[in-house]
Homo-oligomer: A and B are copies of this chain.
Amino acid sequence: MIGRFDSPRENRKAAEPTSATVFVVEDDASMRRSLANLFQQVGLDVVTFGSAHEMLQNNIPDVVSCLVLDIRLPGQSGLEFQAELAKSNIHIPIIFITGHGDIPMSVRAMKGGAVDFLTKPFREQELLDAVVAATERDRKRREAEQTVANLRSLFDTLSPREQAVLKLVATGLMNKQIAAELGLAEITVKIYRGHVMKKMRARSLADLIRMVEKLGLHANRGQQT
């Protein structure tokens, strides 16, 4: 099946409070089945594919997950697939498995952000540990991404002027300076600033500054023609 079975069933656990999905891309059907079996036994959701292409056809659900990927695949290699996913801004953590890998392959995979690179035969627990680490990484990434996305959607409710005021507020300018910068009356800036605080749900300036930092906004100051 997968490799040597030197870890008793009882030792297996992937004690995750939230469920996670493991995608498996592996051309060997029997290997696919045993991997699916292993993951299902510890309560993980599993979706298997026979090739990279096949996985890209189906749209990947937006859940906490990781990808167990064979290096040798029909068509596109595992490493190429990794590069393609990165280019497509798909940040699913990858665990490579291989029967006939070499060091340059593993180094390239790890440089590309892979969580682990296992050579057959491997202990089941090794793979499960890697999967736990990978899904945990994905969970954290999603959490951070969600935070920024929420802030972004608040920011998007601001009118262009309000956004401009926010950026200048974040640079530490006083209302009168912002007014001069934007060619407005100070009172107008004050009002927009009030809108910004409400819409962004910031309870203090300190709050607002931290939001701007997380959003990575940078004021593009300058002369407005």
Contacts and interface: CB of A to CB of B under 8 A. Distances in A.
Nearest to A174: B204
Contact of A171 (B107, B170, B206): B206
A172 interface: yes
Interface in A94-113: 101-104, 106-107, 110-111
A104 to B, nearest CB: 7
A207 interface: yes
Contacts of A203: 172
A210 B213 contact: yes
Contact of A206 (B104, B119, B209): B209
B104 A103 contact: no
A119 B104 contact: yes
A103 to B, nearest CB: 5
A107 B114 CA distance: 10
Contacts of A107: 106, 110, 116-117
29 contacts: A101-B103, A103-B103, A103-B106, A103-B117, A104-B119, A106-B106, A106-B107, A106-B110, A107-B110, A107-B116, A107-B117, A110-B110, A110-B111, A111-B116, A169-B206, A171-B204, A171-B206, A172-B203, A172-B204, A172-B205, A172-B206, A172-B207, A173-B204, A205-B206, A206-B209, A209-B209, A209-B210, A210-B213, A213-B213
Closest 9 CB pairs of A and B: A172-B204, A110-B110, A172-B206, A209-B209, A107-B117, A103-B106, A106-B106, A206-B209, A103-B119
